[in-house]
Structure 1
Amino acid sequence: GAECGINAEVEKQLEMGKKLLAAGQLADALSHFHAAIEGDSDNYIAYYRRATVYLAMGKSKAAIRDLSKVVELKQDFTSARLQRGHLLLKQGKFDEAEDDFKNVLKSNPSNNEEKEAQTQLTKSDELQRLHSQALSAYQQEDYEAAISLLDEILAVCVWDAELRELRAECYIKEGEPSKAISDLKAAAKLKNDNTEAFYKISRIYYQLGDHELSLSEVRECLKLDQDHKQCFSLYKQVKKLNKQIESAEEFIREGRYEDAISKYDSVMKTEPEVPVYATRAKERICHCLSKNQQATEAIEVCTEVLQLEPTNVNALKDRAEAYLLEDLYEEAIKDYETAQANSENDQQIREGLERAQRMLKQSQKRDYYKILGVKRNARKQEIIKAYRKLASQWHPDNFQSEEEKKKAEKKFIDIAAAKEVLTDP
């Protein structure tokens, strides 16, 4: 009687689980299948249904464990074998997957199952062929070819961490770090305790100059293994650099530009190998010098940055401001225009450009009064009178030699321009 009671209870749990699974309530369905298995640990149907829930939840490893239990309990349950073969193929475990498909073919399958097993076997062969081609392309350093072969394999073997790591290596060699990062992040999720993936992600971020993300990834590595040598030494380096940059930025916010400059000098000493840090440091030093009204030094450092990155908007803005301090209005305008072309909706650039143009106009006016030899408060009539006198004096026709004619022409043009600007209301 007790045996019957247990079975009835297990049947009830299975039935409830089945209904909830059909309704898409996965977590609830799962708890009923857990209960059924607790009630009867040899019930292959319970494991099979639980595997279905795990799959729907994206928990492939747990699903494979349950399907293996099903196969162990009931050797001839072909659909469990087929499904396990599928999942093993997705993990890139070709030999194990093929064993399952061959087993299905041997165990008197239905027509559909036979067809399916045959198709999967063919697919597995094809994937193994691509796999060996990808490896040989990688060994021959033909990374582009390796990537396109790995793309094909990974379209099927979506859970193969090793293949993702291999493709990430190829992306790094091909100079596509962000694609490498997304493969390594997937590999870190697919493989437990994947310290190597976190280390590589951290290194890539570090090389790209993203010290904050580098720090958070290397911390993930140390959470898994606090004695990981490579991660620990990278961690110390990134942490030191991060701290220096943070305190330099703090100084800038407080307007302590001298202190910020010496902090950024330290940054360049801490990391002399990775060029992006020196460039960033110089960009910020250029900003500090410009803000600190050390125009000559600012122009020099900003120019160094702009030789490496001609469209660096921050360096262009800071150099423009330094040029204005030196009364080099046209140079400032040129920098602001380049900055604007590379950052269209920046209000600061627009205002800077307008200010530089205004200052240029004022400076030209100052020069024009001088050209006409009149005071700055001269009336329009006085300006016109002075213009007529000078224009007749410097008319090119009054001069004989080529040299003198040229000089007079320039003078004549300046005089005309001065009258034009100063009589313009």
Structure 2
Amino acid sequence: MHNGFGTESNEEMNLSADEIKVKANELYKVKNYENAIKLYSRAIELDPTSPTFYTNRAAALMMLKRPKDALNDCQRALNLDPTSIKALLRGAKCNFTLGNLTEAERWYTNILNAEPNNQQAMMEYHQLQQVQEYINRAGLYLQNGQFPQAAQLIDRASSYLDEVPTKLKIMKGETLLEQKEYAEASRIANEILRGDQQNPDAHVLRARILYKEGDNQKAAAHCQEALRCDPDHSKARILLRKAKSIETQKNAGNEAFKRDDFITAYNIYTSALEIDPENKNTNSKLYSNRSAVLVKQGKLVEAIKDMDKALELDPTFVKVLKRRADAYMKLEKYTEAVQDLKAALEIDSTNQETRRELRNAELELKKASRKDYYKILGIPKDASENEIKKAYRKAALQHHPDKNCGDSEAEVKFKEIGEAYAILSDPVKKQRYDSGADLDGPNCGMDFDSVDPNLFFQMFMNNEGFPGMGTNGPRGGFSNFGGFNPREFPRQRSGGYHSYGFQY
């Protein structure tokens, strides 16, 4: 005969219900709970009117961590004998471990009203009160923003329970949410919803997580579901309004950006940022979008400020790190660009585009660490050969030591001007310089420590046919001086620059 807990054996068929109970008790004492349950079930089949059989089976079920089945047996026992203290004690404990704290309190109160000195009831009721105190204090900590303390008390309360009540799970999810542990908070919300799709608090918890993660559309959908379950759920209504408002504004800003209406886009993103200053993930995206507007307007310094704010809210925002690096590159702040691209690679090490951008930034940083010969001559990097020549002539005349007697800075500047022209007038050296290659080594650079820069200037002016300087020397740039090597010319040791008879 099947009974839901086991089947009878040939031996049991000849025993009375009480005799079977005795054998079941012996199995219980040696912790053979499964077989004890089978015998208690057989005894109940023979005599379903005995409350003892139900309370005994409840005890065995509790040992196997089956409190729901045990609670059912206790309720059947109480239906037969409402004064059964054993049934009340075991039922109260089942309610306690199942998280039915209010019901457990009612059962313990009934026991203590009947037996005020019942030690087991007093001890377990004290534990229940302790759990209730943990939960109440955790609620206060949540209200005050003390989330780690709230989580700690929730865990303490849960340690007493076989099944954590939904209310406590929601509270734990809220503490995890506020501590930005979104994955674990989502796990709790989804676990509740799998068991109960009609739980509005679980829908709101899931909505809050999605809202914090910046997914306003899904957040709004969960708020709407919560309101379907409970039309008076104020948290759902408030969050729905915020999520819809931010999403509407963000989309409007994006549309304005797409049609190149940058002023409108900027104003819309600014308004969206004012809706909820606490929504860090969404606001990080809004600052990112607004920075893109500023980049389009050529306002790089302002754009970087918005990128800074976006990264304060979300330090792992790779897109913004790369955009800020690009802005730094345009502003020739290569050190900062390299730092941002390295940070982006730490977050996403597989991005080959970022790796290429980093190599380029490092090259520009290397080039920037050397003398900027274009700046020295005051010319753009795409200057023609003739523009380079004219710039050298003008700068050299301006800073020639004969024109700046006693000015040591002018002498240094005059030497740098010569260096700049020596590199930029030679196509091979210019190409190496522009590419960032080292200029050290044989035939790679100009050693102005071994040649008088005034001699260099004299030869250039002669080569150009400058009035008063003669017309000796081949035409063309300095690089075409018949294989001229400044190392072959001794430094002028006496007579100063005037020894060349330079006249203005």
Aligned-pair distance for 1:162? 4.2
Q: What is the alpha-carbon distance in structure 2 between the residues aligned to residue 52 and residue 357 of structure 1? A: 72
Paired residue total? 364
Aligned-pair distance for 1:353? 1.6
Aligned-pair distance for 1:73? 2.9
Q: What is the alpha-carbon distance in structure 1 between the residues aligned to residue 253 and residue 197 of structure 2? A: 38
Closer, same or farther: CA 245–71 of 1 in aligned 2, 3 Å: farther
Q: What is the alpha-carbon distance in structure 1 between the residues aligned to residue 289 and residue 63 of structure 2? A: 51
Aligned-pair distance for 1:102? 6.1
Task: Compare 40-49 and 404-413 and name the one that shifted more.
Answer: 40-49
Task: Compare 351-360 and 73-82 and name the one that shifted more.
Answer: 73-82
Correspondence for 1:214 among 216, 219, 225:
219
Aligned-pair distance for 1:408? 6.2
Correspondence for 1:86 among 79, 83, 93:
93
Partner of 1:98: 108
Q: What is the alpha-carbon distance in structure 1 between the residues aligned to residue 145 and residue 323 of structure 2? A: 44
Structure 2 counterpart SS, 1:18? coil
Partner of 1:69: 76
What aligned pairs does 1:405-416 form with structure 2 within 5 A after superposition? Answer: 407=413
Aligned-pair distance for 1:215? 2.4
Alignment pair present for 1:156 and 2:160: yes
Query: Which structure has the greater CA radius of gyration?
Result: 2
Aligned-pair distance for 1:349? 1.2
Q: What is the alpha-carbon distance in structure 2 between the residues aligned to residue 369 and residue 410 of structure 1? A: 11
**1:93-134 superposed Cα distances (whole Å, 9 cap, x missing partner):** 44235358769999xxxxxxxxxx956752441442464366
Q: What is the alpha-carbon distance in structure 2 between the residues aligned to residue 138 and residue 227 of structure 1? A: 21
Alignment pair present for 1:258 and 2:260: yes
Conserved? CA contact 1:329–1:360, under 8 Å: yes
Give the TM-score taking structure 1 as reference length.
0.59
Closer, same or farther: CA 135–223 of 1 in aligned 2, 3 Å: closer
Partner of 1:122: 123
Q: What is the alpha-carbon distance in structure 2 between the residues aligned to residue 105 and residue 409 of structure 1? A: 107
What aligned pairs does 1:143-292 form with structure 2 within 5 A after superposition? Answer: 143=146, 145=149, 147-157=151-161, 158-164=163-169, 175=179, 178=182, 194-199=199-204, 201-203=206-208, 205-207=210-212, 209-226=214-231, 228=233, 230-242=235-247, 245=250, 256=258, 258=260, 266=268, 268-270=270-272, 272-275=274-277, 276=280, 277-287=282-292
Closer, same or farther: CA 159–54 of 1 in aligned 2, 3 Å: same
Q: What is the alpha-carbon distance in structure 1 between the residues aligned to residue 50 and residue 266 of structure 2? A: 67
Conserved? CA contact 1:42–1:73, under 8 Å: yes
Correspondence for 2:342 among 327, 333, 337:
337
Q: What is the alpha-carbon distance in structure 2 between the residues aligned to residue 307 and residue 341 of structure 1? A: 20
Q: Percent identity?
A: 20
Closer, same or farther: CA 260–243 of 1 in aligned 2, 3 Å: farther
Q: Give the counterpart letter for 1:122 in structure 2.
A: M
Q: Give the counterpart letter for 1:73 in structure 2.
A: L
Aligned-pair distance for 1:338? 3.9
Partner of 1:26: none
Q: Give the counterpart letter for 2:159 in structure 1.
A: A
Aligned-pair distance for 1:414? 6.6
Aligned-pair distance for 1:350? 0.6
**1:132-180 superposed Cα distances (whole Å, 9 cap, x missing partner):** 36646865859455543432222113433444555666677x7567477
Q: Give the counterpart letter for 1:132 in structure 2.
A: E
Conserved? CA contact 1:215–1:238, under 8 Å: yes
Q: What is the alpha-carbon distance in structure 2 between the residues aligned to residue 413 and residue 139 of structure 1? A: 74
What's the Cα RMSD here? 5.8
Structure 2 counterpart SS, 1:258? coil
Alignment pair present for 1:421 and 2:423: no
Q: Which structure dedicates a bigger proportion of its chain to helix?
A: 1
Conserved? CA contact 2:224–2:240, under 8 Å: yes
Q: What is the alpha-carbon distance in structure 1 between the residues aligned to residue 340 and residue 149 of structure 2? A: 43
Structure 2 counterpart SS, 1:345? coil
Q: Give the counterpart letter for 2:308 in structure 1.
A: L
Q: Give the counterpart letter for 1:238 in structure 2.
A: A
Structure 2 counterpart SS, 1:209? coil
Closer, same or farther: CA 315–369 of 1 in aligned 2, 3 Å: closer
Unaligned runs of 5+ residues in structure 1 are 1-11, 20-32, 107-116, 379-385
Q: What is the alpha-carbon distance in structure 2 between the residues aligned to residue 246 and residue 355 of structure 1? A: 35
Q: What is the alpha-carbon distance in structure 1 between the residues aligned to residue 228 and residue 48 of structure 2? A: 36
Q: What is the alpha-carbon distance in structure 2 between the residues aligned to residue 273 and residue 231 of structure 1? A: 17
Unaligned runs of 5+ residues in structure 2 are 8-40, 386-391, 430-437, 446-504
Give the TM-score taking structure 2 as reference length.
0.51
